[in-house]
Structures are given as structure tokens and as C-alpha cells.
Amino acid sequence: MSDLELSLELRDGEMALRASEGDPQITCVETVRQALSAARDHEVTDKSGTRHVLRLSLTLGETGSPDGELGTALAESDSTGAQHTPADETEHGVEFKGFPKKRLSTDQAHAVWAGLREGLPQTGPVAGFPLGCLTAVLRQVEVVAGSPTVEMYREAARQVAEKMTAKANWKVLEPFAQVIVSVDSAKVSEVQKVLVRRGGEGEIHPDTSSTELVFRMPMRQTFGIKAEIVEAARGKATCVVAFSHFGDVSAENLKVLTASVKK
């Protein structure tokens, strides 16, 4: 049985795009910004001495849709795989090797699904931080040797999910915003107070008639900030809020966020 192989893949680009859409249900959620890809061989030697080896490869991440991609991949590969020509290398993002019809049988698909459900924790593996849902995406199923039994599919899936989760180095990040304010020079101090009170840090660029303030703060602190800034400046200000980057959640913020999650 081979050792577990891990590779890290950062997927900030996708979440950054979603955060910029301004949906408070998305931008408020701090999530695990990491996906893991793993491949593992499961080997069994039967009583006759014949080796049976099954290789599974999958990606594990934390998203807002529990097991959605995995369920779709398994269901579609089982129901429509036979409609494709043998030359197809992949089926709905899943690569099959050693399968005549480039798909899993119903029993095999159910076994893989059951194994992953057994091997994955019910919530994200972040100590004391229960936001988000785990999503496992099947990438490859390969019969390396022999004829693996249905039980081997279940056990292989359970092992790769369990080992990958145990070795993962999860990290909690949150989206930050850049708040750019153009304001009458006489109202800079009032606007600055609003930005600082919301946890903002940044620079002030004075000009002849107006001053530009460029501050960064957690995205969750920006809701309602435009109206508050305009009110503080007595209408003599414009404000633009845009996604900036994903940054570490401070220890204090992590306590607040964790406490706000309903048990």
C-alpha cells in the first residue's frame, strides 16, 4: 500500500470573485482556503495469492455545498457513462482506467460514496471553528491489478479520506475589503474615525481640494459603511468598497466569529 501523497492548491481566485459580488451571505463567511488532492493504492491479496490493487484520487476542500460535487460526479458517471465512446479519457471530470465502459457500476459507486462518508468528518477539520462544509471531488478511479471487490472500493475511499483529513494543515482566512474614500479636506478626521472604529488600517493622501483615504478592513465590517461615511462627511464624500485579499483571522476575531455560530 503506497504512502499518502498530498499537494496543496490555493483557490483564492474563485472566492475572490464571489466576494466581490457583494452578497452578504458569501462575504460574511470565513472559510478554509485550502484544497487537498490525494491518491492512494488499496491492495488486497486473496487466498489464491492473486493481488488486487485499486487506486483512488480525490480532492477535498471546504465549501458551502456539502458533498455536492462528489454526488454529482458519481451519479452522472453511473447514469451516462455508457453513452460515451471508449476513447473518452474522463467522464464528468472523473478519469477511469481499467473500466471497459469508463464508469463505475451502481454497486461500486455506492461503495465509494459510503467509504467517503465514513472517512470524512461531519464538519470542517478546523479546531473549534464549525463554519463551512466538506466537499470531496472524485478525480480518478483505476484498477491497477486484479479484480477489486466492491468492499475494496469502500475501504479504499474510507482510507484516502481519513488519512487526507488527518494530515491536512487547515487554516482559517477571511476576505478583506479596500475602502477608498474621497472627502472634503475639512471632514477627513470624521471619516477617519468611522474607518478606524470598524477596524480599518490604511493611508491618507491629501490633495488641494479633497483628500483620499485608502483603508483595508475585514469585509464583514463594511456593511453600511458607505451611508455612515456620507453622514459623517455631511454629504461631502464618495466611497468605493472593493474586494482586496484573503487575510488571517486574528485570534480575537476568531473567538468572536466562533461564538456567533449557532450550536
Domains and CATH numbers, the chain: 5-170 (3.30.230), 174-260 (3.30.70.240)
| Residue of 194, 153, 169 lying closest to 54 (CA atoms) | 153
Q: pLDDT tens digits for the chain (263 residues)? A: 222 222 222 233 332 223 333 333 333 333 443 456 777 788 888 888 899 988 888 766 554 433 344 344 334 433 433 333 333 334 444 566 666 566 678 888 888 878 877 776 654 443 333 334 455 566 778 888 888 899 998 998 888 877 776 665 555 566 788 999 999 888 899 999 999 998 899 998 887 678 899 999 888 788 888 889 999 988 888 899 888 876 766 666 656 555 544 43
Q: Global pTM?
A: 0.44
Q: Which runs of E-coded beta strand occur in the chain?
A: 5-9, 31-32, 35-45, 51-63, 90-91, 94-97, 133-145, 172-184, 201-206, 210-218, 237-248
Q: How does pLDDT run across 88-145, given as a tens digit for each residue?
A: 334 444 566 666 566 678 888 888 878 877 776 654 443 333 334 455 566 778 888 8
